[in-house]
Structure formats: C-alpha cells, structure tokens
Amino acid sequence: KNYKIAVIVGSLRKESFNLKTAKVLMDIAPKSLSFDLIDIADIPMYNQDLEANPPKEWVKLRDKVRAVDALLFLTPEYNRSVPGVLKNALDVGSRPPGKSCWDGKPGAVVSVSTGSISGFGANHHLRQSLTFLNVPAMAQPEAYIGGVAELFNEEGQLTNDSTKDFLTSFMEAFEKWVHTNAH
C-alpha cells in the first residue's frame, strides 16, 4: 500500500536548511511513501473569533492535512522552541474542538540547526504538542541534525555521506512506522 505524507517545514526562509533537508528526505524515501509539501507561510494567526467564518488558508491547511495518512515535521529551533509559524499551523489545524485534522495521524520529527545542540529544544517542544494532538511521533531513531551549514554545499546538495546514510535509515524506519500506525 502507498501512503501520502504531509511535510511541514517550520522555516519560511528560501535558503532554509530545514527545507533543504526536507527535500533530501523526500528524495531518498522508500517508494511506498509520497509527499505533499505544505506551505504554512500565509496562514493567518489563530483567533477563535474567526472560527465562525474561517480564513480560506485555515480551511486549505485543514483539508490538505485531512487528505494525508501521516505527518513529517522539520523544525528549526528558535529560542529553544519551535518557530511561531509552526506552532500557529498546529493550533489552526487543531480546531474546532473534536475536528482536529492532526488526530490519529502518525508522525515524525526532524530538528535541523546550524548550532551544536541540534534543535533539541524545538524537537521536544514539538513532541509535547504532538502528544496532546494524538499524533504518535516515532520515538526512534531520533533526528537531531546539527552543524547543518557544514553538511550542504553551495548548490544546496547534501554532501555529507554519513548524514545521508542516517537520513536514509530514518526514512526506512518512518516507512515502517507509517505502515504500522496509519489507518
């Protein structure tokens, strides 16, 4: 069986290392997985007052996520947590109550940082929200990609072989996770 995966990247930067890593992951993934890279740049900030007549971007996000089997998150770390734009997407998708688009979809988290702590804080803050959202997030292997500026060349290609091997095994494990937990 084939499974569709939403890829959600917590950086809006054109040259984002998280985005570059997401592209590598989609490229090297096992063939039973296909991907929808979801753009979260223009999702209006969550405001309960808008729920009666939700912005079209909210509806689009919720519909796109409903259409997939599983979720792959890539997050930078901003001040030891997830960027606001990613948290906002989680909040928008979680509403209205009882209608969360995330509910029950298996997921995985990759944190990508130029620093040496490798986005640990963001990775685990994201996991905290995913636990509440009933997104079972793959526990192992964990993916903390640090010192990322040294892993890619000027053309945006991943040139570090051991990282490539790790990401390949990560996606093989994720394929199993999705096959076991998606419904």
Q: Which residue ranges make up the site for ligand FNR (CB under 6 A)?
A: 11, 13, 16-18, 76-80, 112-115, 117, 119
Separation of first and last alpha carbons in the chain: 11
Q: How many residues does the chain have?
A: 183
Which residue bears the tokens 């490798």? 118
Would you tell me how many other CB atoms lie within 10 Å of the CB of residue 99? 11
- Taking the complex as a whole, the smallest distance from the CB of residue 80 to ligand FNR amounts, in Å, to 5
Between CA 97 and CA 91 the distance in angstroms is 11
Between CA 79 and CA 176 the distance in angstroms is 33
| CB-nearer residue toward ligand FNR: 13 or 176 | 13
| CB-nearer residue toward ligand FNR: 23 or 105 | 23
| CB-nearer residue toward ligand FNR: 30 or 121 | 121
| CB-nearer residue toward ligand FNR: 23 or 62 | 23
- Taking the complex as a whole, the smallest distance from the CB of residue 165 to ligand FNR amounts, in Å, to 21
Instruction: Select from 106, 146, 102, 149 the least CA-distant residue to 123.
Output: 146
- Taking the complex as a whole, the smallest distance from the CB of residue 27 to ligand FNR amounts, in Å, to 17
- The DSSP call for residue 90 is H
- Taking the complex as a whole, the smallest distance from the CB of residue 147 to ligand FNR amounts, in Å, to 10
